[in-house]
Structure 1
């Protein structure tokens, strides 16, 4: 291992070519992955849990959750 690292440290051109080769192979491999390995997912949904000890569910809904929902719905994108 030390021999390999020593060789690359003294031969800058060879180390650059090896780096480009490794990056190219990685990019080609990632591009050719089957779709089962890259599943699609939807980010349009989410769950928010609000906890307010001692408050009723109605109070939490009207005072906290509805305000959070209103702010989140105002975000574009």
Structure 2
């Protein structure tokens, strides 16, 4: 897991749900660091640095493309 890179940070679980589905659909190796902890203690998100999207370096390029496509203003799946 040391080789995984932080691609994005989210404050609450609902903010990354679409990203998680898109990554699983594309077969991108990833995990969300602090996901369970912040799910249990949502007000502590800032104290723990948020929920970090960790992506394997081999999948980084396609992961960035997916996030960029979701941040496009014309996308109906735009992330927060």
Give 1 or 2: higher strand fraction: 2
Larger Rg: 1
Give 1 or 2: higher helix fraction: 1
Q: TM-score range by the shorter chain?
A: under 0.3
- Normalising by structure 1, what TM-score? 0.23
- Normalising by structure 2, what TM-score? 0.22
